Amino acid sequence: MSISVIVVSLRTFVRLWIVRAFGWDDGLMVAALTLFIMLNICCIVGSMNGIGHSYKDFTSVITFKKALMWWWLGQMTYIWAASVAKISIALALLRLTVQKSHRIILWGLIGTTVSIGLMFWLVLLFDCQPISYFWHKVDKDSKGRCLPLSTLLDIAYFYSSLTILCDLMLGILPAFLVWSLQMNSRTKLAVGGILSLGAFASVAVIIRIPFLHYYADTNFLYSTFQIAIWSVIETGLGITAGSLITLRPLFRWLLDGTMSYTRNTPCPERNSRKYPLSSLKLDSSKGGQDPSYWRPDLDPDDNKSIIITVSSPRRQHFALASNSSEEALYPELGLTHSRNHVTIQKTFEQVVTERPK
């Protein structure tokens, strides 16, 4: 939980302050973190009340009821924490896709995640009638009924299988996203590997599968502690890995030492980066990097002038959504249907004058 809080906090800082493009995927990841914190609270308080202990360790029926109640609350919270994290990762990848087939796959994964999450949540919610019978069933005077444990176990296996499939798809799809990019193989592997981090959660799901049969164990609270542990690890891995892929601008910001990383601010005082805008002072000849190399009309001895180079805006050709939170992997999309194109740069001379006293 601590690692997830730190990484999501860094992600929020990147999106709100550096990139200044807080999107739906970022908001959903913050929501997933909130649910994950609630899940950890349920696990901590539940452990203090007996989760992980054998029935014979309980000396009070009231404490036993509290342990079952906190287990029930934890599993209800887990489903939505894990599902919302997966949806956030899918939306982040969706912003990088250009092919219709990839978008269909991602929307299909989002729909599948919502469907199986809602299905499993409703099954667990109405597992017992009334709902409170789940933790009151240890009281001999209480009345109610629950689904057969074999049915609940089959649904748990079905949910875990689809979860693994969705996680693996989220891990494999980035390879196809970067396949057609104009970059060397090493860079493609690095970018694809970073974007595939969100699939790490499937490791915990796979490890959890052999323990699912303990749902049907009579010593429920003691036998299912492995299920609880790996469910927490699954959710934490998904949130952490899904947020790590968004921290690339943070390293640029730290290396540049600038106060902002916004793409909407052309002012040199607020954005002194070399990309996309740059200000070049007149200096001695340095070949093609010196403005006088391509502007022979400039005076190289003029120290009061600054040459500002501005790349032509391409928002009318390729514009990210207003709530976009991802750097474009396809910067050439929409510029032209031909592979041959140019980027226009305008240069102008700014003369610094002193005010009269």
Least confident piece of the model among 111-125, 163-177, 224-238, 299-313? 299-313
Residues of the chain above pLDDT 90, percent: 26
The contacts of residue 6 (CB under 8 Å, 6+ apart) are: none
Whole-number Å distance between alpha carbons of 5 and 182: 35
pLDDT per position as a tens digit, 244-286: 878 878 877 777 655 444 444 444 444 434 333 334 444 444 4
Give yes or no for residue 346 having a pLDDT over 80: no
Cα 356 versus chain centre, distance: 55
pLDDT per position as a tens digit, 46-76: 999 888 898 888 888 888 999 999 999 999 9
Give yes or no for residue 123 having a pLDDT over 80: yes
Q: Where is pLDDT greater, at 178 or 5? A: 5
Mean pLDDT throughout 9-31? 89
CA distances from 105 to 11, 57, 172, 174 (A): 26, 49, 11, 12
Mean pLDDT throughout 342-354? 58
φ, ψ of residue 145 to 5 degrees: the values are -150, 155
Q: Where is pLDDT greater, at 328 or 162? A: 162
Contact 244, 250 (CB under 8 A): no
| The predicted structure's pLDDT at residue 258 | 53
CA atoms within 13 A on the CB side of 192: 19
Which residue carries 């730290």 as its tokens?
Answer: 254
Give yes or no for residue 183 having a pLDDT over 90: no
Q: Where is pLDDT greater, at 295 or 37? A: 37
Domain boundaries, the chain: 1-255
Mean pLDDT throughout 87-104? 86
| The predicted structure's pLDDT at residue 192 | 73
pLDDT per position as a tens digit, 138-154: 887 888 888 888 888 89
Whole-number Å distance between alpha carbons of 101 and 99: 5
291 falls in which pLDDT band (50, 70, 90)?
low
> Which of 86, 73, 90, 78 shows the shortest CA–CA distance to 36?
78
| The predicted structure's pLDDT at residue 29 | 93
H helices within the chain, ranges in order? 2-13, 24-48, 61-94, 100-125, 133-136, 149-179, 185-195, 201-208, 220-223, 225-244, 248-256, 291-294
81 falls in which pLDDT band (50, 70, 90)?
very high
> Which of 45, 34, 48 shows the shortest CA–CA distance to 73?
45
| The predicted structure's pLDDT at residue 36 | 96
Least confident piece of the model among 35-44, 159-168, 323-332? 323-332
The model's pTM is: 0.69
| The predicted structure's pLDDT at residue 30 | 94
Give yes or no for residue 349 having a pLDDT over 70: no
- Mean pLDDT for the chain? 76
Position 41, amino acid: I
| The predicted structure's pLDDT at residue 350 | 62
pLDDT per position as a tens digit, 186-244: 777 777 777 777 677 788 888 999 998 888 887 888 988 899 999 999 999 889 988 88
| The predicted structure's pLDDT at residue 143 | 86
> Which two tokens mark 296?
């022979």
| The predicted structure's pLDDT at residue 111 | 94
Give yes or no for residue 109 having a pLDDT over 70: yes
